[in-house]
Structure 1
Amino acid sequence: MVGIMELNDLHIEALSVIANCLEDMDTLVLIQQTGGLKKLLSFAENSTIPDIQKNAAKAITKAAYDPENRKLFHEQEVEKCLVALLGSENDGTKIAASQAISVMCENSSSKEFFNNQGIPQLIQSLRSDNEEVREAAALALANLTTCNAANANAAAEADAIDPLISILSSKRDGAIASAATVLANMAMQEPLRVNMQNHDVMHALIGPLRSSNTVVQSKAALLVAATACDVEARTELRNSGGLGPLVELLRSKNDEVRRHASWAVMVCANDELTAVELCKLGALEILEEVNLSVSRKNKFSDAAYNKLLNNYLSLKYSLTGYLSSSNIIGDGFYDYGRINPGTKLLPLKDLCLQEPSDLRAVLLVNSKSDISPPPSMEDKSSDIGYGRSISSSSSLRRASKEKTNLHFSAGFGSPTEDRSEPTSGRNTALSKLAMKEKGSRKGRGKKEEEKVKEEEEVAAVPKLIGEGSPDKEWYPPSDPDFCVYVYEVTKSIFPITNIKEQIEALAKYVAEKMGGKVSKEKLHDFSWELHISELKFQLKSNVVPIGLIKQGIFYHRALLFKALADKIGIGCSLVRGEYGRAWNEIKLMNETRKGLIGALPPPEVYIVDLMFHPGGLMKLKSKEADLYIYL
């Protein structure tokens, strides 16, 4: 009938019958063997009647769900017919052709064919005013680009990114889900991912993340996981308010949504700022709850929980009391003390702005400074004694304040630029600081009245914590003493080639800076509490930079040792004990086994003595080690 034009009033019904027949493999083979399939495709391609074209495409779609049928269709070059139908002026025909392509591209050979023909026409359909046309085209592209980098690249070259991102704000859930899938497939290639970010894809994702449709939620979370691979994208997502709805998806009862949301959180937690924000939004508590459930947990939820903690070390140490050798303490780390699971850890800024109290001092590690003297001022700063005890810190802080004012009045760049410079650069200013420290040691025989006067000056200096007007960027308290520590250990301890000697030298250095050797008998006379209280009063805050502490016990010394060890590449862990005890564990190979052929035994774990015999190494679980870590 379809070959006889006189019977054209029966063609549409005849195509419906053929569509049903094509679903049966034996009948399809028979039609193909008698030349009927080729006649059908030619008829559909050359017909000018939209309903005939549409029904022919629908017939192909129904039959193509069977793999053997797809193979037969490919041999008959059905792809050419479908590409021709995409060029129809009729929206119904475009939709049917797109749906047929969605099914046909399950055949790998067909998927390759559409790489050169079909993708540009589908992208043209993405710009249609008809939402159904856009949805069908997006679905076809989603299937074409899945597990096919060449097709994803071809779609990007045909300018698909902009219309796909526009579809993310569509009212049709199917269109949004398919568009998100295509974009996620593209994001597997870095150049395409960068291009997508330039089109503001992170902001466009906020709507889909808030959708009530689980398929849209799942695809949107997957797109976040694919695109949030660099700091700029994560910052954009964070600033756009996308982290909140993403965290809420962790609560989903849908397994796929929860899995993809966990994956996205794991990717987003790769930098500290985003990890901290995710924790503030409750991601850690939700993941902890999910991981306790046998039916709801997944590999990504467990990995996301660990990633959050490993990129928010302040919280990890407060919760678990342990930092491994791979947990590198960076600037801005603070030890708040032990907190219970489920308890929120206040951000450093909030802690800095609190008034001093009888609570445990928060220890801050920070080798960055928001001050940077102009080159012309370096020679004028010889009065700064960076290596002095707390009694001399007043002149240090006073000089720091003066340098800050000079810095900004002279117009030497922004504070952000100064802070971004790595401290490992060790500029000439630091070498001058080290020289000044040596000079300052000669002046320790000052009269007691001068010391008291200096301490009074410290209390009178406006605190650096949260200093400045509210509209200026906030900086953590600077710690010039710790900067000098980093410089000195880098210069004198880092070059030591023997790891054991390195550890011993660093332990002695830390002990010296924290009040020296303390015998067990006189431990109760070591007045560190008064010293810390004075610092809190002088700083008008509970947050105390580690470099200012000149009389420290176990947990002060252990933190300083870990912070400095991380700076020079000595692998060590930090362990919190009870009653103010904390210690460092390091792993060393048995010297007697070196040079032997065959498998070496695992390294032995030692605890570093920073109190009683600085530099001493005690084998873990030995009697002397137990006496060190327990009361």
Structure 2
Amino acid sequence: MRFCCRADIFLGDENKTSLMCLGAIEPLSRLISHEDKTVRRNAVMALGVMASNNEVKKCLKTLDVIPAVISKLLPEENVVVHEFATLCLTSLSVDFSCKVQIFDHKGLEALIQLLSSPDPDVKKNSVECIFNLVQDIQNRAAVQRLNGLPPFLDLLRSEFPVIQQLALRTIENITTDSETRVAFRNAQGFDRILELLATKEFSDLHEGALRVICNCLEDSESMQLIQTMGGLEQILQFVGTATLPEAQANAVKAIARMAQSSENRNILHDRNVEKALTDLLMQENESVRTAVCQAVAAVSKNLSSKETFRCLGAIGPIVQLLNSEGSELRTAAAEALSSLTNSNNLNAFAIYDAGGDKLLVQQLRDSCTGAAVYAASVLTNMASQEELRRSILAHEAMPALVELLHSTDNNTLISAMQAVASLACDAEARLELRNVGGLSPLAQLLKSIHAEIRRNACWAISVCANDEITALDLCNAGALEILQEINLSPHRNNKFSELALQKLLDSSLSLKYSLTGHLSASDITTDGFYDPGQIRMGHQVPTLEDISKQVVNQHRAIIAVNGKPPDQFITKKPDDRKPDSPTETTASSVMSSTRSSKTPRCVCCVYLSMGFL
């Protein structure tokens, strides 16, 4: 008995579900291989239409129908069979397991052959199915191996816009593969893409064409080819003349991609790209301004471009974009400012004049990680100037940076520590850092398994250890013990860790003498130097104030240096001192002596007459 039906009765989802519930799917799956052409054609039509229903898809997967459907793509089959077989595969190809099955049964090869079919519906279904398949990396490379690029490029000239769009989207996807980009160049793909850009009637394709160009610009050969073909001028012209914001944004992205190499940046600078980008900052469209900021960040790696952007007045508008609601735009603006201020003090002052330091400090508390990272980078660049550094600190940058030191993101930690190090060269900044509890998290970051984090923590500590109080607080926070442990490790030891340890010791000679037992000829003791005795590893060095509060005992006296004249000493009564306690010594005896005894000192402080220094 023949099973004959017309596909148009299945257009509604309810009818498709009803037929499935009546058990029509299984016999239809068998009938697509029937020897009678009419039966076979109608069965394929029925399955092709019904396959768009989700429940029918699940049923077809269990019936393993894909090999039979692929077999209907052979050239000897009727065009109608091709149309509905490809329609069925298009519906199934959105599922990952079906993609694998289509690939394994050589469905991709058959679909590529049908791209040259005279029937537009077959072309449309085939290209859509391939578009679904190339979402998988394996299939992208396979399209190139099966010589699929030429027919796709031909479809860009189709009279049907839907076929053009699908072909372009597929090309965009497969050109993310490096081998496919080579094949794209060899197949004169740029000729066809630039042809689309030059045709106003194809304005709906311009955005996709520019995305294809962006993919291909990852290869230097493609960049050279585009320049030779005049494509660079065409893209730059397109930036200013495009009417669709999406197309403008993609043109700017293409420029940003070009600017990844120094040679291309020089070419772009010669073409006055800075003027085109600055003009686009006035656009209201957020995606365009985001793309512009990202392009500015890339182009500004060229030193001349940094100067040009400032002279064109681009810095002020970029600073104001830090107030934007969109986190992506705020991040892009901060990224642009980071690039503009890298090794450029004049741009740093331009940001300050535009009120950018306050906005950047606010951005340190931004919930968007990227925004905070780039903001910290800009502040690091600006902090090399004393006037700017003071302004940044006045906006409470240090508490905000200390909050970032508790982040779990590596980039955030690195940027925050670099900013702390750049600001902590001022004594007031170090005092604020101590007051807001920044030393302890800084010391703990020395334990990080991430080498870059450890290096930056070492650098920040070496800067912060420029005064004795901060150095002692860092030691009390555990920095000394951690640095000693790092420097004993052949894998973690580096110049930064050695510098940090040396700075801690040099900033507190009392600490250095207690731990090493000697001072060098370049170490100059000043008011407040004292010898607390040999301190073992893992024990904190007591401060002179702590020692003075202890009760006098029978142990050896603590030696302290006081540079005041003798008449300003505050001496103890004779009966309060032990008869055999030392009363004075010389500076040289303190500085050049090496401790021979590890006996704990007594807690009695003896002030030395240093009036002759």
Same-fold call, TM cutoff 0.5: yes
How far 1:270 sits from its partner (Å)? Answer: 0.9
User: Any idea what the Cα deviations from partners look like across 1:97-121, whole Å, max 9, x if unmatched?
Assistant: 1111222222232233223232222
How far 1:481 sits from its partner (Å)? Answer: 5.0
How far 1:561 sits from its partner (Å)? Answer: 0.6
Check conservation: 1:138, 1:175, Cα contact below 8 A. Answer: yes
Aligned residue for 2:259? 64
Aligned residue for 1:302? 498
For residues 104 and 551 of structure 1, what CA distance do their matches in structure 2 show?
76
How many residues are paired up?
406
Aligned residue for 1:16? 211
- SS of the residue 1:250 aligns to: helix
| Partner of residue 457 from structure 2, selected from 257, 261, 266 | 261
Aligned residue for 1:82? 277
User: Any idea what the Cα deviations from partners look like across 1:448-495, whole Å, max 9, x if unmatched?
Assistant: xxxxxxxxxxxxxxxxxxxxxxxxxxxxxx94359xxxxxxxxxxxxx
User: Any idea what the Cα deviations from partners look like across 1:139-159, whole Å, max 9, x if unmatched?
Assistant: 121122222223223222222
Amino acid at match of 2:213: I
Aligned residue for 1:273? 469
State the 4+ residue runs in structure 1 displaced beyond 6 angstroms: 579-582
For residues 179 and 479 of structure 1, what CA distance do their matches in structure 2 show?
52
Aligned residue for 2:298? 103
| Partner of residue 231 from structure 1, selected from 427, 437, 447 | 427
User: Residue 209 in 1 paired to residue 400 in 2?
Assistant: no
For residues 278 and 341 of structure 2, what CA distance do their matches in structure 1 show?
17
Change over 3 Å in CA distance of 1:39–1:357 after alignment to 2: same
Q: Higher Cα Rg: structure 1 or 2?
A: 2
Pick which of 51-60 and 25-34 moved more.
Answer: 25-34
Change over 3 Å in CA distance of 1:550–1:223 after alignment to 2: farther
Relative to its length, the structure with more helix (as a share) is: 2
| Partner of residue 55 from structure 1, selected from 231, 250, 266 | 250
Aligned residue for 2:240? 45
Check conservation: 1:22, 1:28, Cα contact below 8 A. Answer: yes
How far 1:127 sits from its partner (Å)? Answer: 1.6
Check conservation: 1:15, 1:59, Cα contact below 8 A. Answer: yes
Check conservation: 1:50, 1:90, Cα contact below 8 A. Answer: yes
Check conservation: 1:102, 1:139, Cα contact below 8 A. Answer: yes
Change over 3 Å in CA distance of 1:35–1:324 after alignment to 2: closer
Matched ranges for 1:141-290 at <5 A: 141-290=337-486
For residues 578 and 504 of structure 2, what CA distance do their matches in structure 1 show?
30
User: Any idea what the Cα deviations from partners look like across 1:288-329, whole Å, max 9, x if unmatched?
Assistant: 001001111111211211211122222222222212333222
For residues 294 and 493 of structure 2, what CA distance do their matches in structure 1 show?
36
Change over 3 Å in CA distance of 1:281–1:5 after alignment to 2: same
Check conservation: 1:53, 1:85, Cα contact below 8 A. Answer: no
Change over 3 Å in CA distance of 1:195–1:319 after alignment to 2: same
Check conservation: 2:458, 2:500, Cα contact below 8 A. Answer: yes
For structure 2, the residue ranges without an aligned partner over 5 or more in a row are 1-195, 602-613
Aligned residue for 1:122? 318
How far 1:206 sits from its partner (Å)? Answer: 0.8
Aligned residue for 1:561? 586
For structure 1, the residue ranges without an aligned partner over 5 or more in a row are 368-422, 434-477, 483-533, 539-547, 567-571, 583-631
Change over 3 Å in CA distance of 1:131–1:73 after alignment to 2: same
Matched ranges for 1:304-323 at <5 A: 304-323=500-519
Change over 3 Å in CA distance of 1:280–1:4 after alignment to 2: same
For residues 324 and 581 of structure 1, what CA distance do their matches in structure 2 show?
23
- Scaled by the length of structure 2, the TM-score of the pair is 0.61
Matched ranges for 1:322-471 at <5 A: 322-367=518-563, 423=564, 433=567
How far 1:551 sits from its partner (Å)? Answer: 4.7
How far 1:162 sits from its partner (Å)? Answer: 0.8
How far 1:350 sits from its partner (Å)? Answer: 2.6
Aligned residue for 2:136? none
For residues 349 and 22 of structure 1, what CA distance do their matches in structure 2 show?
66
Aligned-pair identity in percent equals 43
Check conservation: 1:562, 1:574, Cα contact below 8 A. Answer: no
For residues 511 and 230 of structure 2, what CA distance do their matches in structure 1 show?
72
For residues 543 and 443 of structure 2, what CA distance do their matches in structure 1 show?
19
- SS of the residue 1:205 aligns to: helix
For residues 324 and 427 of structure 2, what CA distance do their matches in structure 1 show?
35
Check conservation: 2:214, 2:254, Cα contact below 8 A. Answer: yes
